[in-house]
Amino acid sequence: MKILIAKRQVTICEIAQELCVSDRTISSDIATLTAIFPIETARGNGGGVRLSDSYKVNRNGFTPEDIVTISEIVPLVKNKEQERVLRKIIELLM
């Protein structure tokens, strides 16, 4: 996410080279992140991975990793009111 936030659009190959991992690893990670963040992918010339224009960088101190962690906690919460509040926090952070 830090790379996407900094560059807004990049190819999978560029991310893989920067992180010293395979293209397949990045593709898998992007698939996972698209469930949480507004990430768009496009093939071909001018394609790549990009953050949607609707995504605003968080200025409240929460990192993208913090937001992922919060979203992973939601299914574990038994209390409906606590779950509702956590979902509301996630919405505000995105």
Q: How many domains does the chain have?
A: 2
pLDDT tens, residue by residue, 47-72: 789 888 777 765 677 777 888 888 88
The residue-averaged pLDDT of 12-35 equals 90
What is the DSSP secondary structure assignment for residue 56, as one 8-state letter? -
Regarding whether 65 and 50 lie in a shared domain, the answer is no
Regarding whether 74 and 28 lie in a shared domain, the answer is no
3 state SS of 63: coil
Instruction: Give residue for tokens 């093939």.
Output: 43
Strand ordering across the sheet containing 39-42 = 9-10, 48-51, 39-42
Instruction: Give residue for tokens 């937001």.
Output: 67
Regarding whether 47 and 12 lie in a shared domain, the answer is yes
- Asked if residues 41 and 49 have their Cβ atoms less than 8 Å apart, the reply is yes
Regarding whether 12 and 49 lie in a shared domain, the answer is yes
pTM above 0.85, yes or no: no
Per-state percent for the chain, helix, strand, coil, to nearest 5? 55, 10, 35
Regarding whether 47 and 7 lie in a shared domain, the answer is yes
